[in-house]
Structure 1
Amino acid sequence: MAETVLKAEHLSKSFISGNKRFTAVDDVSFNLKQGECLGIVGESGSGKSTIAKMITCLEDVARGQIFLRNQEITKAKGKALRNIYQDIQMVFQNPAESFDPRHTLGDGIGESLRNMGMNRKETKERVEQLLEKCGLDKEFSQRYPHQVSGGQCQRAAIARALAVKPSILICDEATSALDVTVQKQILELLIELKHNENLTVLFISHDLALVQAFCDHVMVLNGGKMVEYGTTEQVIDHPKTDYTRTLIESVL
């Protein structure tokens, strides 16, 4: 039986906007096993990205706990947090914004390698290998974010995420800013990498069609609450809630 690598228990998070408090995530729990892909779906504002940010410690957890291979990481800081980033990496919605526009893509991809003590020659070779693994020619290491297309930049962002050889990849709407043809290409790349690298993937999307093509299990969020959870086949073919049925009808 596959090992549970990531576990969230009763996650909750609220924000204050003006004079009002709203709940972004409300008592959400799930497990993610090694090699599995879990899709988190829901409309904008349903809490999907907040969950990703809590897992990667970009947002504090108000209530609940997060475990990485049975070690609690809910409030990790300093060295413990750096160790987490060796194991968990995230690919964001807008790849160009995740790179420093003053530096080349190669610099961005190689930053974590240099921080690990890899010398310049080894870093250059590793960056070129990562680019080619993600479907880009090695000369892309010399280009700046504004000099490449959205799809090419997202491939570079995936290469950067893979640089530290993580076991868990979080894709936060990683295809939503791309046109349909490029979405398909990036999804095919992610499927290939998941298989070849034995990656565990948390795939956050509002598009159930993409989730159906990629994910083993699906969690449906509505207003911060988990309203449905099951295998992709169960959720897509036999939805239990009107909300899930509406999501399915809108894209499938």
Structure 2
Amino acid sequence: MTDIILKAEHLKKVFVSGKKSMTAVDDVSFELNRGECLGIVGESGSGKSTIAKMITHLESVTEGQVFLKGKDITHVKGKALREIYQEIQMVFQMPMESFDPRCTLGDGIGESLRNMGISRSETGSRVEKLLERCGLDREFADRYPHQVSGGQCQRAAIARALAVNPEILICDEATSALDVTVQKQILELLIELKQKEQLSFLLICHDLALVQAFCDKVLVLYHGKTVEYGTPDEIINHPKEDYTKRLIDSVL
């Protein structure tokens, strides 16, 4: 019996502007098992990030449901939503933009801990351990976002996401703004976290080569609809749809 930690059923998102409407996600379903990584791939505008935002309540769900460990979280608010953020955290594409430039990386990483009522001294100690866990020296706690490289800032962003001990990490194009060498280093960090700590991942990505290296299952989107859903080997070695074949040819 599989241990499903996250499940989406028939998700739909329609954006309305005046008399015009645009369907960004159309009847998408998937399951994420504990300790697995699901890659959601597709070109720009395919609906990948919109799905991530619906799961984390950055966008409302037009139709469908989202379940976390069997509980419907589609429309939760207030305290129930805050509790979800203890279990699901997100790492964004542009790490420097995700930190307040007026605050040190240590302040940014420790914010959620302070909000939980943890003392400043204990928060400082935990922040240093989180930085080391993500391959950064403790001194990075005192640096500002503009004083570090993109890769270092993304490591700090991952440390911040891990601060509340989530069970699911959603990485929304978390390596695409980095150069190839740094991409590889961040991917190795994510693989280590997955193997050692049984974290579950949702990897929003357009790079099938990256997905093949990291993911257990792949969902291919095109214009908001599911094109293919299966293991990386099934989809990359035996693609059924022309769109998937074009995606593969563009990166492999």
For residues 3-50 of structure 1, what are the alpha-carbon distances to aligned partners after superposition, in whole Å with 9 as ceiling and x for unaligned?
Answer: 100000000001135753211000000010000100000000000000
Taking the TM superposition and a 5 Å limit, the aligned residue runs for 1:201-212 are: 201-212=201-212
The 3-state SS of whatever aligns with 1:184 is helix
**What is the aligned partner in structure 2 of residue 240 from structure 1?**
240
1:135 aligns with 2:135: yes
Deviations 1:58-114 (A, max 9, x none): 100000000001110000110000000000000000011110111000000000011
In the superposition, the TM-score normalised over structure 1's length comes to 0.98
SS at match of 1:246: helix
5 Å-filtered alignment, 1:1-252, equals 1-17=1-17, 20-252=20-252
* In structure 2, C-alpha distance between the alignment counterparts of 1:196 and 1:106, rounded to whole Å: 24
CA distance in 1, matches of 2:128, 2:172: 25
* 1:39 maps to amino acid: G
SS of the residue 1:86 aligns to: coil
Q: Residue 82 of structure 2 aligns to which amino acid in structure 1?
A: R
Gaps in structure 1 of 5+ consecutive residues:
none
Deviations 1:111-167 (A, max 9, x none): 001111111111001000000010000000000011111000000000000000000
**Cα distance in 2, alignment partners of residues 113 and 2 from structure 1:** 32
Distance 2:244 2:18 in 1: 31
Mapped partners of 2:239, 2:56: distance in 1: 30
TM-score by length of 2: 0.98
| CA-atom RMSD in angstroms | 0.9
User: Residues 157-184 of structure 1: CA distance to partner in whole angstroms, max 9, x if unpaired?
Assistant: 0000000000000000000000111000
Structure 1 residue 196 displacement after superposition: 1.2
The separation in 2 between residues aligned to 1:241 and 1:6, in whole angstroms, is 26
Q: How far apart, in 1, do the equivalents of 2:243 and 2:27 lie?
A: 18
Residues 180-228 of structure 1 show CA distances to partners (whole Å, capped at 9, x for unaligned) of 1100000000000111111000001000010010000000000000010
**Whole-angstrom CA distance in 2 between matches of 1:175 and 1:192:** 16
CA distance in 2 between counterparts of 1:162 and 1:57 reads: 19
- 1:19–1:179: structure 2 CA closer, same or farther, 3 Å change rule? farther
| Distance in 2 of aligned mates of 1:184 and 1:25 | 30
Write the letter of the residue equivalent to 2:134. C
